[in-house]
A and B are shown apart, each in its own frame.
Chain A
Amino acid sequence: DAKTTQPPSMDCAEGRAANLPCNHSTISGNEYVYWYRQIHSQGPQYIIHGLKNNETNEMASLIITEDRKSSTLILPHATLRDTAVYYCIVIDLGGGTSYGKLTFGQGTILTVHP
């Protein structure tokens, strides 16, 4: 699976949009971009995923560049409860033997402050 690069930390004011970048310049055609977050003392939580198109759900939006070499996770109105480590993960789900084996990096520590 392709390697991802994320900034180690970011700050955001409560109520503002949090934009978390991820570089995955070696991504291949069958590889999806997944985002998870991990709040302190909890297990990771799935947020959103995409292949080529932008995606939105009740938690966040995912913007993937046209060349697919980078993406941005957007939390439109960050709250204090969004303070967590955010992981960008690239995974190949295109093959017959593929499955959800996730390779977590260090992630981005997002701190939302009042």
Chain B
Amino acid sequence: GAGVSQTPSNKVTEKGKYVELRCDPISGHTALYWYRQSLGQGPEFLIYFQGTGAADDSGLPNDRFFAVRPEGSVSTLKIQRTERGDSAVYLCASSQKTPHTGELFFGEGSRLTVL
């Protein structure tokens, strides 16, 4: 389809393991965002990419979290030494940068469970 695609849709891992979550944005969208949503809460901003560079990573909770977007399209969120508190739905969104817009297109998310 033409929407934002996220894989895997579900990931169960053990405490201390390394996890990668992938986001494939809408073709042509230069802006890409990662959000995290804990149960019963609204989504929480993690990081924003404009092209290949992270323009704002102020939402990443600590240095175990890292994201890349090497070719300005697909992005990968990487979590090292996972902890039980990392369990959440990780949402990716994309948008057109010009004009500045608050209209983001979200994927269905990757549900991460850390045992």
Q: Are A and B bound to each other?
A: yes
Known: A41-B108, A49-B102. A100 touches B31 (CB 8 A): yes
- Asked if A49 and B108 sit within 8 Å, CB to CB, the answer is no
Known: A49-B103, A100-B100, A103-B45. A44 touches B91 (CB 8 A): yes
- Asked if B102 and A91 sit within 8 Å, CB to CB, the answer is yes
- Asked if A101 and B50 sit within 8 Å, CB to CB, the answer is no
Select the stretch in A20-28, A68-76, A104-112 that faces chain B: A104-112
Chain A: residues with Cβ within 8 Å of the partner, total of 24
Chain A contacts to B: CB under 8 angstroms: 32, 34, 41-46, 49, 85, 87, 89, 91, 93, 98-107
Known: A43-B106, A43-B108, A106-B41. A101 touches B56 (CB 8 A): yes
Chain A residues with CB under 8 A of B105: 46
Chain B contacts to A: CB under 8 angstroms: 4, 31, 33, 35, 41-45, 48, 50, 55-56, 91, 93, 95, 97, 100-109
Known: A43-B93, A99-B48, A100-B95. A105 touches B42 (CB 8 A): yes
> In the complex, what distance in Å separates the CA atom of A23 from the CA atom of B58?
27
Interface of A, secondary structure class, is loop
A/B interface sample: 10 pairs, CB < 8 A: A42-B109, A46-B105, A49-B103, A89-B102, A91-B102, A93-B100, A99-B56, A100-B103, A102-B35, A104-B42
Nearest CB in chain B to that of A49: its residue: B102
Nearest CB in chain B to that of A96: its residue: B100
- Asked if B102 and A93 sit within 8 Å, CB to CB, the answer is yes
Closest CB of chain B to A94's CB: distance in Å?
Answer: 8
Chain B residues with CB under 8 A of A106: 41-42
Known: A44-B106, A106-B41. 8 other contacts (CB 8 A): A42-B108, A42-B109, A43-B108, A98-B100, A99-B97, A100-B102, A101-B48, A102-B45
